[in-house]
Structure 1
Amino acid sequence: MIHAKAFKIGLIATLALAMAGCTSIRQSRGYVVDALLVDAIQPGIDNQRSVEMTMGRPSFSSQYGAPTWYYISSVTGQRAMSSPKIRSHSVLAIQFDDAGKVVSTDRSGIDSVAFLLPDGDETPTLGRERGFLEDLFGNIGTVGAPGAGGAPQ
């Protein structure tokens, strides 16, 4: 009777640990969006300093064209023994005029993200493709040959 009860407790503990290993891991990356702060930014009223005091430093800012600050936020989820997947993604772009006043705010989501898939596992190169034997025996006779830069003649 005691052994059966201990076995049941051990089985329940093992199942609980196994189930804990199957939970999803949620991770926020980048700027943590606070909708109240984002809605507080008003074009024509706020400037770069007030935006920085409200939102903090941007994830990055534009280098060319109109001054624009970008706040990027991403939430990923990962199950046990799998690659992380993007659950949500948002970009807040705040555009300023030359005087530093907010001109506009623009929000975009995961629908604007470009997913790049590599084409195979080889990098294409220009030139002649050589096989294994050509790589192995390709230099035979070229060492010391005239014009090959070998030993002086």
Structure 2
Amino acid sequence: MRKLVMVSMLIGLGVLPACTRTTNTMGYIVDEVLVAEVKPGIDNRASVEKALGKPSIAGQWDDKTWYYVSRNTKQTAFLMPKPTEQSIIAVSFDAKGNVASVNRRGLEQVANVDPVNDKTPTLGRETGVLEDLFGNIGRFGSAGSAGGPPQ
């Protein structure tokens, strides 16, 4: 019985490190001194890139806003990581490429998305199984006709 208890304790001690909490840092590493030196009306794209480097993300439809994003997370074993700290620095430029504003956001921007019923809601019309299977028949031209695949 004593050997069984000792073996169980050794196995428990061997498995215990798998349950430790790990931390991860992802994205831009913020240097507060450099961020404070970026001034609206004084700096431009070239000086911002020289000071802060290339942005993590540029604006989706235009490049008038550069985003520098960083996030720290903690995770225990196989559980989902949870954000502990986040920094989003948004540098906006005017039409001439000069800095218009420097805004900062933090952990309040984190959204917790909880899927419902394993379905993603979409906008538009509902389709049935038959329309999903046969809906594209006759919509496209044959090879060599206008709208058909290239030859």
TM-score range for the pair, normalised by the shorter chain length: 0.5 to 0.7
Shift of 1:38: 0.9
Secondary structure of the 2:48 match is helix
CA distance 1:12–1:114, change in 2 (3 Å): closer
Partners of 2:13 and 2:20 in 1: CA distance: 11
Asked if the contact 1:66–1:97 (Cα under 8 Å) also holds between the matched residues in 2, the reply is no
Aligned to 1:119: 116
Aligned to 1:108: 105
Secondary structure of the 1:100 match is coil
- 55, 61, 65: which one aligns with 1:58: 55
Aligned to 1:92: 89
CA distance 1:97–1:16, change in 2 (3 Å): same
Shift of 1:41: 0.8
Partners of 1:63 and 1:79 in 2: CA distance: 34
Q: Deviations over 1:75-102 (max 9, x none)?
A: 1111123111111112100011111111
Letter paired with 1:61? A
Aligned to 1:36: 33
Shift of 1:16: 6.4
State TM-score, norm by structure 1: 0.66
Partners of 2:10 and 2:120 in 1: CA distance: 50
Count matched residues.
124
Shift of 1:18: 4.9
Shift of 1:123: 5.4
Aligned to 1:26: 23
Partners of 1:109 and 1:69 in 2: CA distance: 16
Give ranges in structure 2 of 5+ residues lacking alignment: 1-5, 130-151
1:67 aligns with 2:64: yes
Give ranges in structure 1 of 5+ residues lacking alignment: 1-7, 130-153
Greater Rg, structure 1 or structure 2? 1
Q: Percent identity?
A: 37
Partners of 1:127 and 1:52 in 2: CA distance: 48
Please give the root-mean-square deviation of Cα atoms over the aligned residues, in Å. 3.0
1:76 aligns with 2:89: no
